[in-house]
Amino acid sequence: MARRKEAGLYIHQRAEWPNFRWDTARISARLVDIRHRQGRLIGRMEGLGFQLRSEAVLQTLTEDVIKSSEIEGEKLDRDQVRSSIARRLGLDVGGLGPVDRDVEGVVEMMLDATQSYNKPLTARRLYDWHAALFPTGRSGMSKIRVGAWRDDASGPMQVVSGPFGKERVHYVAPEADRLRQEMKNFLEWFEKDNSIDLVLKAGMAHLWFVTVHPFDDGNGRIARALADMVLARSEESSQRFYSMSAQIRYERKAYYESLEAAQKGDVDITRWLEWFLDCLGRAFERAEAILATVLSKARFWDYFAATQFNERQRKMLNRLLDGFEGKLTSSKWAKLMKCSHDTALRDIEDLIKKKALTKDAAGGRSTSYSLAKTPEAGAKGRKSVPNRITSPLP
């Protein structure tokens, strides 16, 4: 078989692999700016006080877990994710419900990466993360090797898109018989190379791991967890106030394009690092929205501190303040709060009397309600949060 030309090689097939290089002049200014903004964000969040800071961490980690799974096409239940994280962090948020095994596994992996960020990364630890992600030993309908490197028994590991018979191959990973040495090199670098700024190292770790693609499935989620782990090391803190995974989800197309370009290029990863740093910067900007939501929620409850609410009302108000997706009918209120339809309507009417909810202008065949515009929790901070309740007319 004819040997491929150098231009047609994947990055892991090049003689220089994995000795990455980059243009320091192009990266330095971005890195200085990112480090400055990272410090400012952490400083602001740490000045919130314990309760608000815990709420910000809970919101950030919930978003991180949900969006990292969405990148892979898997939708997790937000309430279950939030409950699992709160329980594991010992946070008193009330109303913690049962959680599915697959949700628990994703949360367990993410928290192990970020809360135990200084614990050494080993092959065994990666195996445990992988086993947590796939507790049934299956990915969808397919049985996979769990807690072990892939063996390529069903063919080479490829990243493809498109319908069956018209697939487009975006990337082919290293052969399975290379994995033991490839992962040995990666793990030694991850723990022993202290010559690289940790923010840059987070981007490199992400690219390196997902390029090796050592598992049958879950490589993207683990790569993003590794990046979060290194970012936690860069801050010397287990508290997460921004979500790189959430930002990657919003930029998924650019993310895959940047990965593919890097994996089909040479070992100069300047463009990948530029994209990673820019994406991280936008994650910092999005963290401002989390901060605004946390502060708005705190002001809301401070304003109503002397007002009595029953458990159902308090729970529903928190759902609205956290960002309820879609409209909530009185029937849905009854289902979520496990009460009758009449009780749900009485709860809503009582909240209107207490000025926690307001009735919107008539709209179609339903009556809608929104969170009240208190002086401390104005409309501006809530426009981006779906918070409408809809009660069908009798």
State phi, psi for 290 to the nearest 5 degrees: -65, -45
Q: What are the counts of helices (DSSP H) followed by strands (DSSP E) for the chain?
A: 14, 8
Cα–Cα distance measured from residue 129 to residue 217, given in angstroms and rounded to the nearest whole number: 12
State percent of the chain over pLDDT 70. 89
Q: Provide the pLDDT for residue 50.
A: 84
Q: Is the pLDDT confidence value at 195 over 70?
A: yes
Q: How many CB atoms are closer than 10 A to CB 15?
A: 9
Q: Is position 299 annotated in a ligand binding site?
A: no
Its pTM stands at 0.81
Q: Please report the DSSP string for 266-325 in residue order.
A: -SB-HHHHHHHHHHHHHHHHHHHHHHHHHHHHHHHHHHTTTS---HHHHHHHHHHHH---
Q: Is position 261 annotated in a ligand binding site?
A: no
Q: How many CB atoms are closer than 10 A to CB 74?
A: 15
Q: How many CB atoms are closer than 10 A to CB 197?
A: 14
- What sign does the dihedral 347-353-354-357 (CA atoms) show? positive
- What sign does the dihedral 254-226-134-319 (CA atoms) show? negative
Q: Is the pLDDT confidence value at 5 over 60?
A: no
Inter-residue long-range contacts of 29-32, CB under 8 Å, 24+ positions, other chains counted: 30/274, 30/277, 30/278, 31/197, 31/199, 31/200, 31/277
Q: Provide the pLDDT for residue 101.
A: 92
* pLDDT tens-place string over residues 237-256: 999 999 999 999 999 999 99
Q: Is position 44 annotated in a ligand binding site?
A: no
Structure tokens at 275: 């994209």
Catalytic, 170? Answer: no
Q: Is position 255 annotated in a ligand binding site?
A: yes
DSSP 340: -
Q: Is the CB of residue 177 less than 8 Å from the CB of residue 212?
A: no
Lowest mean pLDDT segment, chosen from 133-137, 186-190, 334-338: 334-338
Which has more confidence, 272 or 299?
272
| Mode of pairing for the β-strands spanning 389-392 and 328-329 | parallel
Q: Provide the pLDDT for residue 390.
A: 43
| Gyration radius from the chain CA atoms | 24
| Averaged pLDDT for residues 339-366 | 82
Cα–Cα distance measured from residue 114 to residue 108, given in angstroms and rounded to the nearest whole number: 10
| Averaged pLDDT for residues 370-383 | 55
Q: Is the pLDDT confidence value at 320 over 50?
A: yes
Q: Provide the pLDDT for residue 236.
A: 95
Q: Is the pLDDT confidence value at 230 over 80?
A: yes
C-alpha count within 13 angstroms, C-beta hemisphere, residue 80: 15
All residues at 6 or more sequence positions from 309 whose CB lies less than 8 Å from its CB, including other chains: 317, 351, 354, 356
Name the residue type at position 208: W
Q: Is the pLDDT confidence value at 339 over 50?
A: yes
Q: Is position 381 annotated in a ligand binding site?
A: no
* pLDDT tens-place string over residues 121-180: 999 999 999 999 999 999 888 899 999 999 998 889 998 887 777 788 899 999 999 999
Which has more confidence, 3 or 120?
120
* pLDDT tens-place string over residues 254-285: 999 999 999 999 999 999 999 999 999 999 99
Q: Provide the pLDDT for residue 372.
A: 79
Q: Is the pLDDT confidence value at 360 over 80?
A: no
Cα–Cα distance measured from residue 223 to residue 203, given in angstroms and rounded to the nearest whole number: 10
Cα–Cα distance measured from residue 257 to residue 364, given in angstroms and rounded to the nearest whole number: 44
Q: Is the pLDDT confidence value at 323 over 80?
A: no
| Averaged pLDDT for residues 182-205 | 97
Q: Provide the pLDDT for residue 373.
A: 78
Which has more confidence, 371 or 142?
142
Which has more confidence, 173 or 384?
173
Q: Is the pLDDT confidence value at 378 over 50?
A: no
Q: Provide the pLDDT for residue 391.
A: 39
Q: Is the CB of residue 290 less than 8 Å from the CB of residue 298?
A: no
Instruction: Report which of 30, 55, 31, 79 is spatially closest to residue 325, judged by C-alpha positions.
Output: 79
Q: Provide the pLDDT for residue 160.
A: 85
DSSP 204: H
Catalytic residue among 12, 130, 206, 213: 213
Which domains are assigned to the chain? 6-293 (1.10.3290.10), 311-392 (1.10.10.10)
Q: Is position 127 annotated in a ligand binding site?
A: no
Q: Is the pLDDT confidence value at 331 over 90?
A: no
Q: Provide the pLDDT for residue 165.
A: 76
Q: Provide the pLDDT for residue 244.
A: 95
DSSP 157: -
SS3 state at 207: helix
Q: Provide the pLDDT for residue 377.
A: 44
Q: Is position 223 annotated in a ligand binding site?
A: yes
Q: Is the CB of residue 110 less than 8 Å from the CB of residue 104?
A: no
Q: Provide the pLDDT for residue 4.
A: 34
Structure tokens at 62: 């919930």
DSSP 21: B
Per-residue confidence band for 296, with pLDDT thresholds at 50, 70 and 90: confident
* pLDDT tens-place string over residues 47-99: 888 888 888 899 899 999 999 999 998 999 988 999 999 999 998 776 567 89
Mean pLDDT of the chain: 87
Q: Is position 310 annotated in a ligand binding site?
A: no
